[in-house]
Structure formats: structure tokens, C-alpha cells
Structure 1
Amino acid sequence: MEDNEYFAHLYEIARNLNKEFSLHSALRIALEKTVELLHLETGWIWLVQEGTHSVYLAASYNLPPALSRYPERLSGNCYCIDCYLADGISEARNISEITCTRLKDITAGTRGLKFHATIPITIEGQKVGLINLVSKQTQELDEKKLSVLNTIAELISIAVQRTRRQEEQQNQPSAVMEVLNRVIEPGMEELVQSLQQTKSADKNVQLALEKAGELHRQLLLIREEVGEETTEKVADNAFHYPTSPLTNRELEVLVLVKKGMTNKQIADQLFISERTVKYHISSILSKLFAQTRTEAVETAIQRGLL
């Protein structure tokens, strides 16, 4: 592939990462473009839960049936994740070096996929995640391709960092609310109390007290409206939460847990084994840092996952 084609693909990936509102959607498009660029088969992206070593599936593309039909196989750690978290992967590694532990022992539905390249994603030296690109056979990606993969990882890290900053800003009180809460509202309340303590029967003083009282009430209404507007914006952002740590199957299980179903009832409902249900619930508790099923449900509701 010529240099101009590489740059065209990189530009397209960067453009989509910049314009997409949902990080999940942006990651999926970037993944698709990367797979096409290198003429591979499929891939997925892991992200590290900020502040922890908990890793979750953030995006995938063109998964084989062995994984798309059994998403639990993409839950939990594997060789490349453990190696990455242990500082064993610092740059893009060739497809010939790693056999996918999630596929190597499966006999059906893999489309012959077996090997993958691994590309670490970092932000200022901090671990952010991994990109796995999968192939049917070992391949030696040349230096140019490995360099492109590292560049794509940098673009993704910028998109992740931008999204996290936006979330932090949306969860902080606005400047208007800060001024209302810390300066204007206390000052108005003090003025009203001061006028109320005045014993004067002067009509002008009484009129000032009435106006101050009315202004204070209007101020409280404005503060309430601004607060509701801020809450609505945060809630809207939560609805598009871009970094859900749970797979679709884990969310299905959690919904049924919320309904009070037992493991056996969940297994019957989803046509899976009770052992698989236990595996999902264990993964859910780990990803949500919950000790009990009830706590997991409460955490998921607070984060807008349910």
C-alpha cells in the first residue's frame, strides 16, 4: 500500500474519532478502518477502567460466531491483557508473536482465526487499553504497518482522554451555579434577615423588605431551574455512556438479576448453563467493584447502565 493510502486511512480514522459523539461508536469505526487497512479479519479493543486494573471490552468488529454467540468468552483476562498489565507490551507486536488464548482451543465457529497483533494504548505513560487485530495465519507486519498501528493507538488515546475530560466537566457544577450558591444566594439571605431584624416602621424600609424577599424567592427559583438543567445534561450524557464495562450478555444477566431471578431462572431464560450464569455474575461483580448482586444492580443504575 502506498504512503498516500496510509495517510488517507489515518485521516479517516482521526476524522471519525473527532466527530463521533459516542466513544464506543468512534472506537468501532476506527477498528473497522484499521482491519480494512491491514487486510485482516476482525478485532476488538479493551479499555482499562480508570484508576484500576479492571479491563473491559469497549468495541469489536466482525467477530466470528464463536465469540459473537458466546460473548462470555470475551470476558475476563487473557494472556495479552495479563502481559500488558504487567508491563510486558509497550508497543505494537506482530501477529506471529501471539496466539489468541480465547480462540486456540475452540473447534467451531472461529472462521479459522487464531493469531493476533496487539497494540497498547497509553495516555502520558498511563495504561488505557489494548487493540487486538486477528488473522487466520501468522504475519510479519513491516515497520511501516507497525508504525501506523502505534499512530492509530495514539489517536484513540486522544479520543479517550477527550471523552473523560468532557465527562468530568459535565459532572462538575457550572460556573453560574457556583456564583449563585457561594456568593449571591447567601448575600441575599443575609440582606433579608437584616431587614427583618430592623424594628423601623418606616414604609420605605418595609417596601425594601418586601422587594428583597421577592428577589430572594426569584433567586431560589432560578437556582433550582439551573440545577435541573445541569442534571438533565448529565443524565443525557449517561444515556450515551461510552465506556460501559459490561458486555451485552452481562447486561442481559444483570437485568434479570434486577428482577430477582435465581441463577437457574436466568439460565433457563437465556438458554445457557447455570455455570455460565455464575461466570457472568462473577465478571459483573468484578467490573462494577461490587460485593453483592444487589450492590451491582445499584451501581449499574447509578451509572446509567440499566
Structure 2
Amino acid sequence: MSQRHSTRIRELFEKIQQNTATPEELRLFLELTEKEDQQETLPYQEWEQASPQQLPARLEQRILRKAAPKQPLLRRLLPYAAAAAVLLVAIRLLWPASTPQPATDWMTASTADGEIRTLRLPDSSVVTLNARSSIRYSFSSTGARTVYLQGQAYFDVRQDQHRPFVVHSGELSTQVLGTSFDVRSYPRETPRIAVLTGKVKVADPQGKSIVLAQGEQASYNTDNDHFISATADPALMSNWQQGIINMNNLTLQEVSAVLERWYSIKVVLETPGIGDYILSGTQANTSLNSTLESICFIFQLQYTQDGNTVLIRKK
């Protein structure tokens, strides 16, 4: 091992111990220490005196099964301070599709409360963002068309057999070749994908997947990693683009979250249990007061508003 490589390895190891190493430095550390002609001179004795960072047994075995055939040094490093480096690199090996990779050509778009925005992507696909939503996307001339979504968006995808279109939304990834579909993935809300035309394949991190065709939609239960599919009227799947609040089969708690995004308010359900009330039908987005009055009339509720806070309770 050259003196330059030996010095660089020690510098990288110190950074790993101090939790200041970048992902690029973590990868470089493994590359330098993996060479057979260098391993005998590595400072194992010094490393073993560092505070151990024992990994959970199941995670350690999963990392080793994936990476050990190419990296025999992994087993010696896992218990020590270099475990952070191994873990991060192994995560990239195990879940490359679900982790956004650094890129210089990422572009972003977002909407504020009450805003709906339509934009054309580099491949001429069209995306419409619902309120309080954002996307990050990167398209190359030869590779996959990749989009990361938080919130809700309607996609009208330009067909390209050689360049799959993939939308990552929370734990789910949706892959299409050419279709139109709606994805909802707001924090703390049930994820949902609805297909207006064509077909999509939706997959979760565990490898479970479901294929949806026109007029089908699926929600995803994050508690038990389970897809629930159903049929729906395609005309209602994305009518939020026309200013329509679709309340069909939504709880009052879920509708309250929609109102918060559309009207930039905070909804407080004061009476226990009313958040579980199931609504149906649609409501034109005319005004906050008319929407609240319609909801309260159905369930014999009442509301008061104090600034940006709306309180709903039983009469």
C-alpha cells in the first residue's frame, strides 16, 4: 500500500468515526480498503479499539448476503466504527430504486395552499399538481424518466417504450409506459393511485405489487403493507383539477385535511368520534363557508371560525 493511500484511509476512517464523512468518502473508503494487497497493512488493531457500533443481527446478515461476495472485508468492519460506512453503502446496494441519488439536473416544482399548477415535463408529459404538493424530476435522453412526488398530482404520460416513466411517492413506486393516472401521497394520509387510461404497476419496498387498469384505483395500508383495490368512475378520479372536492367514501378527518390544503386553514374536530364519519358525493370549491355548511348539515354538526382555525363539533 502506498503511503498516500495509507494516509488517505486513516483520514477517511477518522471522518467516519466523527460522523462527518460524505457518501462519496464512504464509498472511497470501501474501495481503498477492499484491495487484497492493502488489507494486511490496514490498522485493524487501532480500529478494534474504537467504540463498536453493533448492527442488529438481521440487518447485518441482510447486508452480508447482498454485498459480502464482492466485499469480504465487510465482515471484519461491520462491528466497528466503519459500520456507518458499510451500512450506508449497503443501503444503496439494497434499495437503489427507492433512494434519490444526487444529480445536477434535478428540477423541482411545487404549489402552495389552494393552488393548482400544470406544467409540461421535458419529455412532453403533462403533470398537474394539487394544493400543497411538490415534485422533483430528472429526465435523461436514454434512461428512465424519474419523478419524486409529495402530495397529489395527475400525470398524462407521453408514451415511450424504451424509457419507463416512474413516480416515487413515499414508500410506493408507480411505473408506466404511456397512460394518465392520479397519485395521492400526502404525509400521514393513506396513499392512493388511480388510473384514468392505460395501465400502471405499483410496487412497495417489500416487493409486493399490483397492476391497475383504466377505472381502477388502489390504496396502500402502511401498517400491514397491503394494497386494497377498487373500481371507480374515471371522471371522478381527478376532478379536483376542475375545483371539485371529491368526498366520496372519505372520512371527515380525511376531508378536513383536504380543506386545510385548499383554504390554508387548520381544522379541529372537537367532538371525539366525528372524524370517523363517512362522507359521499362531491362539493364544488365555491367557498369555505358553503363547504363547511354542507358538511355540517349532513351530520348535524356546527362550526365556528377563529382566524385561520375552524372548530367543528356536534350541536
Instruction: Give TM-score scaled by structure 1 length.
Output: 0.22
- Larger relative contact order (C-alpha < 8 A, sep ≥ 6)? 1
Structure that is richer in strand per residue: 2
Structure that is richer in helix per residue: 1
